[in-house]
A and B are shown apart, each in its own frame.
Chain A
Amino acid sequence: MFDLIKRLTQSFGVSGNEEEIRETIINEIKDYIEDIKVDTLGNLIATKPGKGKKIMVAAHMDEIGVMATYIDEKGFIRFSNVGGVSAFISIGQKVKFKNGTIGTVFYEEKLEDMKNLKLSKMYIDIGAKDKKEAEKLVRIGDVACFVGDAVKQEDLVISKALDDRSGCAVLIEAIKRMPQTDNEIYFVFTVQEEIGLRGAKTSAYQLKPDIAIAIDVTDTGDTPEAHLMEVKCGGGPAIKIKDNSIICHPEVKKLLEESAKKINIPYQYEILEYGGNDSGAIHIAAGGVPSGAISIPCRYIHSPVEASSLEDIENVVKLLVEAIK
């Protein structure tokens, strides 16, 4: 599992630029599932045909990142966020552009109060001598992801983009382990989740499933002085009850609870008071789709050191397979 997560998290795929991660995923699944297609927005849809229920399972391929907006005379690059990027977390990080160019993120030193730190007061240094040299490597509109190696320590995996490559890993494992079933299952690796659940919306419209389950990471409340939240890293798959984008359908919630009990794995409930995920766009698409979500507890979301329990991820695979078979 860790090796798969490593391959996935280290692939490039900032929202709207999911080409590389899509190829990585296609390579992982092509020997296990025949019907693979890519739609207009770039969603990767792998279908296991069947005559039973039409089930959509979604995990997003994209990750947060930054976009070059301006290059000054000295070759420093100004940037804006793609998805939810914190200025504070970005300080002192490395970013990597699609062509491999590495840059370091820092801030204008004349800044008097750290509280006023904004992305517009920060820049990327790619070591170019001047504008002309910088432009050989980076063009306005180019995107970069944060650099964050994948590391395994005991049960913990630390990496950039566990949000939501860990969910992609769950879908890939589910494809490989899927037992015989009549259900028609759409494994959808969506695009542009981080900038507005966009790929999920268009893919759900074209698939018109009977039921949908999104697999994504969620925040935890188990770190020092954390906000109050019941979800714990290592506490098992989190069955979503609600977030800001969806109140999960009771039938889907029940299906997930019963499946977890049946295979005797630990599980917890997730009530997220902010944020949302693909299920939020799917449940109101194409006339409405009963939807729910299984969340992977993850600390430090949207940083280069996101951290999850490998056992949790393994249990999410088991729960998903049991629920959709």
Chain B
Amino acid sequence: MYIKELTELNGVSGNEDEVREFIKDKIKDLADEITVDSMGNLIAFKKGKSGKQKVMLSAHMDEVGFMVTGFSDSGVIRFATVGGIDERILLGKRVLVGEKKIPGVIGSKPIHLQEREERNTNIKLKKLYIDIGTDKKEETEKLVSLGDYVAFHSPYTEFGEGLVKAKALDDRVGCAILMEALKERYECDLYACFTVQEEVGLRGAEVAAYTVNPDIALVVEGTTCSDVPGVEKSEYSTVLGEGAALTIMDRTSYPDKNFVNYIYELAKRNNIPVQFKQTNTGGNDAGKIQMSRSGVVTASISVPCRYIHSPVSVMSKKDFNSCKDIVIAVLKDLGTKEEAY
């Protein structure tokens, strides 16, 4: 399990090199062929014993983050978000800027100097800046360029009963599961796709699915988990600790019902905890893969993660293991019977 290593690497959408190189190195002896396409998707092919089916496993390497958009005379950095980030959580967060990983903090006007109205409203992104400890524009520009990527700085921490806190669990959990899955041999031909730019519009997956042209696809994700105070039980998406979550429908896809039921039943038969994601919000790579070419039988399975898209996402190792076990069980079962699944 490479969750610690993977989440401590930086791979904001469009800048996934570090994550890709790490994965590539770790799986080089596990796949028959490894390619990197023009967008940066990493595709590992593993030949199956019968090769009757072509299965695409997909997890995205990128994470939400920021990009440098300008400098103030005082040396602080203006920035934009890359991917969906709640701007209200940003104040006071630690970040790493650019390839040199220069430490910085996200700051704004201190409470003492704020007018009453300012205190009562949520701070807007344009009022925030990144401070890297310089005090002149020229000094900052020596260290940072326009367009540099910025990632949350948040070391992997274990706490509670088998819980993990980290940034980028969405979707390094998926990457870690794909890496585990590549260790086994299967009947089906396996294409493990580590995709790019999911957080900015499912872009890598669209290209990878077109290239691979699979019969069946399974997307492995980190998904929202809203079993927290202030949320009605009827609005929980998933519950932490109750196993991997299967998507019934979300904004981008309506996964193949028969395939989803097959996965659910297979998990139950093997006594692996599994739940359905109750809400229909959000979306992931499945949306593009299902509609690739003439259409692909697709499902999506996820590790529930609280506080997703923040530097303090939380998951349960139990859920991670259940997701991993289900993915491997499905791969082992596919292609062993007369019918497709």
A33-71 CB mask vs B (1 if < 8 Å, else 0) is: 000000111010000000000000000000000010110
Contact check: which of B233, B254, B280, B294 meets A80 at CB < 8 Å?
B280
29 A–B pairs (Cβ distance < 8 Å), ordered by A: A40-B294, A40-B295, A40-B296, A41-B290, A43-B295, A67-B280, A69-B234, A69-B280, A70-B234, A70-B236, A72-B234, A78-B235, A80-B280, A81-B280, A82-B249, A140-B276, A141-B248, A141-B249, A141-B276, A192-B254, A196-B252, A198-B291, A199-B295, A201-B291, A202-B291, A202-B292, A203-B294, A205-B294, A206-B293
Q: Which of A15, A81, A202 contacts B254 (CB 8 A)?
A: A15
Interface of chain B residues 293 through 330 with chain A (CB within 8 A): 293-297
Interface assignment of A195: CB less than 8 Å from any CB of chain B: yes
- Known contacts A69-B278, A80-B280; is A195 also within 8 Å of B254 by CB? yes
- Contact, CB under 8 Å: A140 / B254: no
Set A120, A196, A201, A206: member contacting B235, Cβ < 8 A = A120
Chain B proximity of A153: nearest CB distance (Å): 36
Q: When A70-B278, A80-B280, A141-B249 are in contact, do A17 and B257 touch as well, CB less than 8 Å?
A: yes
A70 to B296 CA separation, bound complex (whole angstroms): 29
| Residues of chain A in range 179-226 having any CB-CB distance to chain B below 8 Å | 192, 195-196, 198-199, 201-203, 205-206
Contact B295–A39 (Cβ < 8 Å): yes
A16 pairs with B249, CB closer than 8 A? yes
Q: Is B53 an interface residue (CB 8 A)?
A: no
Whole-angstrom distance from the CB of A253 to the nearest CB of chain B? 27
How many whole Å from B268's CB to the nearest CB in chain A?
14
Q: A140-B248, A198-B291 are in contact. List 17 more A-B contacts (CB 8 A).
A: A16-B249, A41-B295, A43-B295, A67-B249, A70-B235, A72-B233, A72-B234, A81-B280, A120-B235, A141-B249, A195-B249, A195-B254, A196-B252, A205-B293, A206-B293, A206-B294, A206-B295
Min distance, Cβ B296 to any Cβ of chain A, angstroms:
7
- Chain A contributes a number of interface residues (CB within 8 A of B) equal to 28
Q: Contact partner of B233 among A17, A43, A70, A201, CB < 8 A? A: A70
Residue in B248, B278, B280, B294 with the greatest tally of chain A CB atoms within 10 Å: B294
Asked if B145 CB lies within 8 Å of chain A CBs, one says no
The complex places the Cα of A69 from the Cα of B292 at a distance, in Å, of 28
Q: A39 — which chain B residues lie within 8 A by C-beta?
A: 294-295
Contacts of A205 in B (CB 8 A): 293-294
**In angstroms, how far is the closest chain B Cβ from the Cβ of A99?**
14
Q: Knowing A120-B235, A140-B278 touch, does A16 contact B294 (C-beta < 8 A)?
A: no
* Prevailing SS type, chain B contact patch: loop
Contacts A17-B257, A67-B280, A120-B235; A40 near B249 (Cβ below 8 A)? no
Q: Which residues A69-110 have CB closer than 8 A to chain B? A: 69-70, 72, 78, 80-82
A43 CA / B236 CA spacing, docked (Å): 33
Q: B293–A202 contact, CB under 8 A?
A: yes
A-B residue pairs, 4 tightest by C-beta:
A202-B295, A40-B295, A16-B254, A141-B248
Interface range on chain B (Cβ under 8 Å from partner): 20 to 34
Alpha-carbon separation in the docked complex, A70 to B238 (Å): 11
Query: Which residues on B sit within 8 Å (CB–CB) of A78?
Result: 234-235
The answer, among B257, B279, B291, for a CB contact under 8 Å with A69, is B279
Interchain CA distance A192-B296 in the complex, whole Å: 14
- The residues of A that contact B278 with a CB separation of less than 8 Å are 69-70, 140
Measured between beta carbons, the chain B residues less than 8 angstroms from A141 are 248-249, 276
From 185 to 235 in chain B, residues with beta carbon under 8 angstroms from any chain A beta carbon are 233-235
A192 to B254, CA, bound (A): 9
Most buried by A among B249, B257, B295: B295
Per-residue contact bits, chain B 256-279, to A (CB 8 Å; 1 contact, 0 not): 010000000000000000001011
**Which residues in B have their C-beta under 8 angstroms from that of A70?**
233-236, 278
Report how far A201 CA is from B234 CA in the complex, Å: 34
User: Provided the pairs A16-B257, A141-B249 are in contact, do residues A202 and B234 lie with their beta carbons within 8 angstroms?
Assistant: no
Closest to A73 in B: B233
Contacts of A196 in B (CB 8 A): 252
Q: Which chain B positions have C-beta within 8 A of A41? A: 290-291, 295
Q: In whole Å, how far is A282's beta carbon from the nearest beta carbon of chain B?
A: 13
Contact B291 A67 (CB under 8 A): no
Docked Cα-Cα span, A198 to B278, in Å, equals 22
List of A residues within 8 angstroms of B292 by Cβ: 202
Could you tell me the distance in whole angstroms from the C-beta of A63 to the nearest C-beta in chain B? 14
- Minimum CB–CB distance from A200 to chain B (whole Å) comes to 10
Q: Considering the chains assembled together, what is the distance between the CA atoms of A78 and B293 in angstroms?
A: 35
Set of chain A residues within 8 Å of B297, measured between Cβ atoms: 40
- Across the interface, B294 reaches (CB within 8 A) one of A72, A82, A195, A202, namely A202
For residue A311, give the distance in angstroms from its CB to the closest CB of chain B: 36
In the complex formed, the residue of A with least CB distance to B237 is: A69
CB distance from B46 to the nearest CB of A (A): 23
Note all chain B residues with C-beta closer than 8 A to A203.
294
Task: Give Cα distance in the complex from A182 to B235, angstroms.
Answer: 56
Q: Looking across the interface, which residue of chain B has its beta carbon closest to that of A43?
A: B295
Chain B residues, Cβ within 8 Å of A40? 294-297
Residue of A17, A80, A192, A198 near B279 (CB, 8 A) is A80
Near B by CB (< 8 A), chain A positions 246-264 give none
CA distance A92 to B146 in the complex (A): 56
Alpha-carbon distance A69/B233, docked complex (angstroms):
11
Q: Give chain A residues whose Cβ lies under 8 Å from the Cβ of B236.
A: 70
- B274 to nearest A CB, angstroms? 13
The distance in angstroms between the C-alpha atoms of A35 and B331, with both chains bound, is 35
Chain A residues within 8 Å of B279, by CB: 69, 80
Closest to B281 in A: A80
- CA of A199 to CA of B254, assembled, Å: 11
Alpha-carbon gap, A192 to B236, bound state (A): 26
